[in-house]
A and B are shown apart, each in its own frame.
Chain A
Amino acid sequence: MDGVGRRDDGDRPATVAPDPSGVPVVALAGEIDISCIDAVEAVVQPLLDGTHERLVFDLNAVDFIDSSGLAVLLQAAARVGTVTLRSPSPLLVRILDSNGLLQVLAVET
């Protein structure tokens, strides 16, 4: 019935851990789409409460991102001073580009 974004239950779409300088790094994995967006938001939303000035999304393990996933990135970028997208695949960069988002989201390869 749930035809999209089928993933192993053990493999969580989003985890967060601070990097050495204390900046939260949200690691996303798999296909970030409407089917798992609630789980992603549950991880990201608490980081948007104004206590963080920087936020990093590690997209290394992301295979695909749909508009609801992009909305999470954009919302974070709108609320947090600096948002960096780390290691997106070329496929992801193309998606960001086609949505005109490379102008507003900093990509770090």
Chain B
Amino acid sequence: MQSRTRDPESRTEATQAAPARPDRAEARPRKRTPFPRLHLASLVTLLVIVAFTIGLFLVTASLHNSNENRLLKQRAREAGVTVTAAVSGLQTPLSSAAQVAQATNGNVDQFRRVAASVVGTGRSFVSLALWRMDDPTGPIAVTGIAPELASRPAGEVQALFAKAARSGKLTVAGLVDQPAPRLAYLVTSQPAQTFVVSAETALPKNRTSVVRKDQAFSDLENAIYLGPTARPENLLTATTPHLPLRGRTTAVTVPFGDSALTLVFKPTGQLGGALLARLPWIVLGAGLALAIVAALTAERLVRRRSEALALANDNARLYATQRGVAETLQHSLLPDTLPDVSGLTFAVRYLPGVAGVEIGGDWYDVIPQGDRVVVVVGDVSGRGVPAGIVMASLRYAIRAYAAQGDDPATILTKLGALVDVGEDGCFATVVCGAIDVARHEITIANAGHLRPLLLDGDEATFVSTPVGVPVGVDLVRPYETVTIRAREGATLLAFTDGLVERRGQTIDVGLERLEQTARRAHGSLEDLLTTVLRELSDGVGDDDTAVLGVRWTA
């Protein structure tokens, strides 16, 4: 006598689901870090754009730098040209005075007339003096202040005269500081070199001049040195007391008589304009802002995606949980054990459908009652708790009616009072059989259910029960019963449509497969059910499947 109740597989599933749930529940709360961390993708976006920005910043800064240098050199060259022009502006009146002296053979009045126009405050010279080449002891005529040269030893003056005569150019006599800073130089008359004209040009106080904003080179600080190098003691004039000039500077040397002037320049601001100067910083600022915006956008997208993923996982978990709950509930509504009845073996299977997240309406029952056993397989339409409630009430009602000794047709008729499809929106198909154990007979009534299959030796036939209307539908005519004899070894299989029904094909295909499979299967009743379920359920059934097997034994 067998008393197996459930399909071992689905039982395993159902019992595993229950203890697994608390673990899942504990694993649920996601770790929340107090500081929101960036995902890798966002971080990479940030770093790439920041790196790109820094690169762009460096390029722009270098462009700006070389542009400033180029502009400075250009401005310095322009300033050099201006200074060269100014130098020739000094040289020309000086040479003119020397020429006049030569032409007039040292006429003092003539010299003074020429000198008067160029000497004085606001003019080129503070002192202009006429000397005879052969008399270095003193000038023959002086306009303006007394030349410093006159206070020097005659030998030194003689040497300067000789130098000027040799070069034939403006000859620098030196820098004079007392009483006021001046630059002294001289030139010889041409071509005879009989006379020498000495001159002094005033230098700004402290040799520092103020550059007015509207002056041509007001955008440059400058320092002008006498000589080919920028030696501090040779400073002639500068626009700033902070010397030497440091930072971005450039030097230009222009000829000055037999010597030279060294001009050092430094821009006071940005030669290329403020915008160009700020461009690298604008690029840096905009780039960093872009990096942050891009990273935040990437972060939002990544988050949204991971949230969607988490949601999908939650749904999957919820589905598994619901499915577990449904199976557990379903099993609680089905018999725990099957009775031991001498001369009979029972076996049952219940498989939730693929869509089994809700309770199905399939059930089976085996009810021993005196010298008979009532067996039932039923299927309530729909799913979920309402179907489960109807199923449970039908199942227990059948037990009650069976206990009263009602025959299957009466049982089905009475069930009709419990369900009304017009009211409840659901109905049930039920096949109910009463086994007379002693007489090896079974009397079957059928309310809209698939006919049971009788296996006897190699014979397999669907019991030709008259199919009445389902429970819940008004009776058209009374339920009829059919009684068959079952020999020893015979097997009756009652099942729900989930076993044989496949979409896109008529139910007869499934019934035919069941018949063929059952006919070939040998061994115990359990083996038969296992084979039948394996062959027919093939993992694609949408609907629940319940199978009840009865075998007559010795």
Contacts and interface: CB of A to CB of B under 8 A. Distances in A.
B383 interface: yes
A47 to B, nearest CB: 13
Contacts of B448: 98-101
A103 B422 contact: no
B354 A98 contact: no
B292 interface: no
A85 B446 CA distance: 24
Contacts of B319: 1
B446 A78 contact: no
A75 to B, nearest CB: 5
Interface stretch (A10-18, A21-29, A30-38): A30-38
B290 interface: no
B496 to A, nearest CB: 10
Interface in B441-491: 446-450, 467-470, 472-474, 476-477
Interface residues of A, number: 33
A74 B419 CA distance: 12
Interface in B415-431: 420-423, 425-427, 429
A90 interface: yes
A7 interface: no
A34 B507 contact: no
A90 B505 CA distance: 10
Given A63-B504, A98-B450, A98-B467, A34 B382 contact: yes
A19 to B, nearest CB: 24
Max chain A Cβ within 10 angstroms of own Cβ: one of B315, B423, B507, B542: B542
A37 B425 CA distance: 11
A100 B446 contact: yes
B316 interface: yes
Contact of A95 (B421, B423, B427, B507): B507
B447 A4 contact: no
A67 B467 contact: no
Contact of A94 (B316, B361, B467, B506): B506
Given A64-B503, A78-B474, A100 B469 contact: yes
A60 interface: no
A67 B390 CA distance: 14
A67 B471 CA distance: 13
B5 interface: no
Interface in B8-25: none
B474 A104 contact: yes
B59 interface: no
B382 A68 contact: yes
A67 B503 contact: no
B469 A67 contact: no
Nearest to A74: B421
Contacts of B474: 78, 104
A70 B427 contact: yes
B289 interface: no
A94 B476 CA distance: 19
Contact of A67 (B382, B446, B473, B504): B382
A99 B447 CA distance: 8
A61 interface: no
Contacts of A91: 505-506
Interface residues of B, number: 43
A12 B477 CA distance: 37
A1 B316 contact: yes
A101 B469 contact: yes
Interface string A75-87: 1001100000000
B421 A67 contact: no
A33 B542 contact: yes
B381 A70 contact: yes
Contacts of A41: 425
Nearest to A2: B355
B383 A104 contact: no
A3 interface: yes
Interface string B215-231: 00000000000000000
Contacts of B468: 100, 103
A13 to B, nearest CB: 15
A71 interface: yes
Nearest to B543: A66
Nearest to A48: B422
Max chain B Cβ within 10 angstroms of own Cβ: one of A1, A78, A90, A99: A99
A78 B543 contact: no
Given A34-B355, A74-B421, A103-B476, A67 B315 contact: no
B470 A100 contact: yes
A74 B476 CA distance: 13
B473 A78 contact: yes
Given A94-B506, A94-B508, A3 B427 contact: no
Given A4-B542, A104-B474, A67 B506 contact: no
Contacts of B473: 74, 78, 101, 104
Given A71-B421, A78-B421, A78-B473, A100 B382 contact: no
B507 A94 contact: yes
A71 B543 contact: no
B503 A63 contact: yes
A75 B421 contact: yes
A38 to B, nearest CB: 11
Given A35-B355, A74-B473, A78-B473, 11 more contacts: A1-B315, A1-B316, A3-B354, A34-B383, A63-B503, A63-B504, A67-B380, A71-B381, A78-B422, A91-B505, A100-B448
The 7 tightest CB contacts between A and B, nearest first, are: A78-B422, A67-B381, A100-B448, A100-B467, A71-B381, A74-B421, A4-B355
13 contacts: A1-B315, A1-B319, A4-B354, A41-B425, A66-B381, A66-B542, A67-B497, A68-B383, A68-B426, A70-B381, A71-B427, A98-B497, A100-B429
